[in-house]
Amino acid sequence: MDDVPQRVTVNKLIHQHRAVLDMVSRGERVEITRRGEVIAVLVPPDHGEVLLDRLVSDGKLPADWRQRQQRLRERLQQRSMALREPGPPRGTEALLTDRDETDR
């Protein structure tokens, strides 16, 4: 499996959809193009996401679990920012700040 995605035209997708889907099922990422511009990307399923969707359909996980997860992430980010002591940036934030200042 290459890291470089395969490019397939819409016409090829229409006429050779089995071959294109076989590429995806083998783990390849396929970009669909129209007039040379990428308009869609086909990727193999994320097995974790498939499992989570199955748990939702079986009623073992709430249907809004993604929204709950996003709200939790936002709360954790707000909390970490509120707990952070004022001062110069640290860690990743310092690296990003330094990179931004260097690019100017």
**What pLDDT digit, counting tens, does each position of 23-67 carry?**
999 999 999 999 999 999 999 999 988 998 899 999 998 999 889
If asked whether residues 79 and 61 sit together in one domain, one would say yes
Looking at residue 35, which CATH number applies to its domain?
Answer: 3.40.1620.10
If asked whether residues 36 and 14 sit together in one domain, one would say yes
Please state whether the predicted TM-score (pTM) of the whole model is above 0.85. no
If asked whether residues 79 and 53 sit together in one domain, one would say yes
Q: Please give the tally of structural domains in the chain.
A: 2
The DSSP letter of residue 48 is H
What does the pLDDT look like over 2-23, one tens digit per residue?
A: 578 899 999 999 999 999 999 9
71: tokens are 């709200």
Backbone conformation region of residue 5, classed left if phi is above 0, alpha if psi is from -120 to 50, else beta: beta
Of 96 and 16, more confident: 16
Alpha carbons 104 and 84: distance in angstroms, whole number:
27
Range of the domain at 80: 45-84
If asked whether residues 56 and 34 sit together in one domain, one would say no
Q: Taking the CA of residue 8 as centre, how many other CA atoms within 13 Å lie in the half-sphere pointing to its CB?
A: 26
Would you state the pLDDT for residue 81?
A: 72
Sheet holding 30-34, edge to edge: 6-9, 30-34, 37-42
